[in-house]
A = this chain, B = another copy of it.
Amino acid sequence: MHWGVHTWKGSSGLSTALPRRGIPDATVARLPDYLRVLTAMSARGIPSTSSEQLAAAVGVRSAKVRKDLSHLGNHGVRGVGYDVANLSMKIAAELGQAREWPVVIVGMGNLGRALAAYGGLASRGLRVIGLFDHDDAIAGQRVAGLPIRPMADLDSVARDADVIGVIATPGPSAKEAADALVAAGVTSILNFAPGSLAVPDEVELRKVDLATELQILAVHKQQRYAEVSRDVPLAGVAP
């Protein structure tokens, strides 16, 4: 078995060179936003909408909305707009809600508990079916209606269920969590712990670092200061 630290991306990594189907990740990331807005419109009895309205509600440009939706096929009507109900169904289908995806969370600290209780999952066809922690002392505690289970139970829950695994442990425990998930046959893993993990090539591993965006904000803030101070100092000096 060949192992690497690289993330499985797109359709590369599979045997045959495939015809590059698949919606861009950037579009996939926005689809839930559109769906949320459409659902709200539907609840208010609004039958149809336009790319301009969707764009305004989500906070992007209308051209991006049209480009995004065009990846789902052509469901709009020129001069008219999009049917709210129809478009909602199309997005929901694309987001995998045709099939509900089971999720297990490893690591039941604050972050794991936050994820288990996160409302945004169910609306995206993601169902949390198992919570695990290597501290057997907290096994049995209930979080969001599910019991925390010992790691020993992971294999029986994940095996054959084709789950997505989420690592929400502190950094040092992440490797243990990843190994346990891989050993249980999990092939899709999302890692919230800092640091990089090695998984077999056939496992898709993605990583979210809660501090990254905060970091970027801090650097931009610093740059704003640097820019202002570079603008000012020569004032008064000969041009």
Contacts and interface: CB of A to CB of B under 8 A. Distances in A.
B215 A126 contact: yes
B171 A215 contact: no
A217 B204 contact: yes
Nearest to A6: B59
Interface string A162-181: 10101000110000000000
Which of A23, A125, A166, A195 counts the most B-chain CB atoms under 10 A from its CB?
A195
Given A188-B221, A196-B57, A227-B11, A28 B208 contact: no
A36 B168 CA distance: 19
A219 B117 contact: no
Copies of this chain in the oligomer: 2
Contact of A216 (B25, B103, B115, B218): B25
Contacts of A103: 214
Contacts of A190: 213-214, 217
B101 A223 contact: no
Given A18-B227, A32-B212, A117-B110, A99 B222 contact: yes
A33 interface: yes
A194 B34 CA distance: 12
A31 B201 CA distance: 25
Given A166-B214, A208-B213, A210-B118, A195 B126 contact: no
A146 interface: no
A90 interface: no
Contacts of A22: 219-220, 223
A209 interface: yes
A14 interface: yes
B23 A219 contact: yes
Contact of A96 (B16, B95, B189, B219): B219
